[in-house]
Amino acid sequence: MPADRVGWHTVDSSQTTILAGSNPEVHMSQSYDRGLVENFGRWTEFSAGMWAWVFHKFTGWVLIGYLFTHIAVLSTAIEGASMYNGTLQGLEALLIVRFMEVGLLAVAVFHILNGVRLLFVDLGLGLDAQDKSFYASLILTGAIAVASIPTFLGGAF
C-alpha cells in the first residue's frame, strides 16, 4: 500500500498527548490507548465510502507515479526519431508492458469515475446514492478494462 496508509496503524506519542488532555502523565498511567483500531486487520468492517477513499488514494498514487515515468520515457523524443521510436516500440514489444497498460487503464478509469462521483458529493448531489455510485464505478471500471484487453494486447503475440 502507498505510504499514506501507514498511519492507520501507527500511533505517534504526540497524538497520545493530544488525546489524553491536559495532564498526559497522569493519563498515561491510568488509561489505555488502544491505538488506531480501524487498521487493515479489520478490513471486513470497512464501508463503501472507506473503500472508495482507499482505492482513490491508491489509484492517485499510481497515476502521479506514472506521470513522472511517462514524461521520462517521452523525453527520448529530444534525442531524435530513432531513439524515440526504438524506445516506444521496444517497450510495446514487451508483453508485461501491455498488461501493465491494461492495469493503467483500469486505474485511470476508476480514478475518473470515482472522481466524478466525488465531484457530485462536493456539490451535495446524490449523497444518498454514494455507496451505489461507488459500486457502479467499480463495475464499470472492470467492464471497460476487460473490454479493452483485445485492443491493448493486439499485435503483441
Partner 1 sequence: MAEHYTSFSRDDTRWLLQRVTAVFLVGVLAFHFMLLHFVHHAYEITLAGTTARMSQPGYFITMVSFLIAGTFHGVNGVYNALVNQGIEGTPRTIVKYGLIIVSLLLIAQGIRVAWAMTGGQLI
Partner 2 sequence: MSTHVSESESEAQAGTDQQTTDRPAAQQRRLEKKRASNDQREQADSSTETDEETVHLKVFRYDPEVKDKQEPRFDDFHVPAKKGMTVLDALIYSRDHYDSSLTFRHSCRQAICGSDALFINGSQRLGCQTQIDELDQPVRVEPLPHQEVVKDLVVDMEHFYDQMDTVEPYFQEEDLPSGLDEQRQDRENREKIKMSTRCIWCGACMSSCNIAAGGNYLGPAAINKAYRFVMDEREGEDLKQQRLETIEEEQGVWRCQTQFSCTNVCPKDIPLTEHIQELKREAVKNNLKFW
Q: Is 116 in the site for partner 1 (CB under 8 A)?
A: yes
Short-list 30, 38, 31, 29, CA closest to 10: 38
**Nearer Cβ to partner 2, position 11 or 144?**
11
To the nearest whole angstrom, how small is the minimum distance from the Cβ of residue 87 to partner 2? Answer: 39
At 137 the three-state DSSP class reads helix
81 binds, among partner 2, partner 1, none (CB under 5 to 8 A by kind): partner 1
Among 119, 139, 143, 149, contact with partner 1 (rule: CB under 8 A): 119
Alpha-carbon gap, residue 80 to 56, rounded angstroms? 37
Cell of 49: 465510502
**What contacts 17, CB < 8 A, 6 or more positions away?**
24
Cβ–Cβ < 8 Å for 152, 101: yes
Q: Is 95 in the site for partner 1 (CB under 8 A)?
A: no
Among 1, 40, 41, 49, contact with partner 2 (rule: CB under 8 A): 49
Cβ–Cβ < 8 Å for 105, 150: no
Cell of 151: 485492443
**Nearer Cβ to partner 1, position 83 or 129?**
83
Estimate to the nearest angstrom the gap between the alpha carbon of 92 and the chain centroid: 24
At 71 the three-state DSSP class reads helix
Return residues touching partner 2 (CB under 8 A): 7-8, 15-16, 18-22, 27, 29-34, 36-38, 42, 44-45, 47-50, 52-53, 118, 121-124, 127, 130-131
Return residues touching partner 1 (CB under 8 A): 2-4, 6-7, 12, 15, 57, 60-61, 63-64, 67-68, 71, 74-75, 77-78, 80-81, 84-85, 88-89, 92-93, 101, 105, 108, 112, 115-116, 118-119, 122, 148, 151-152, 154-156
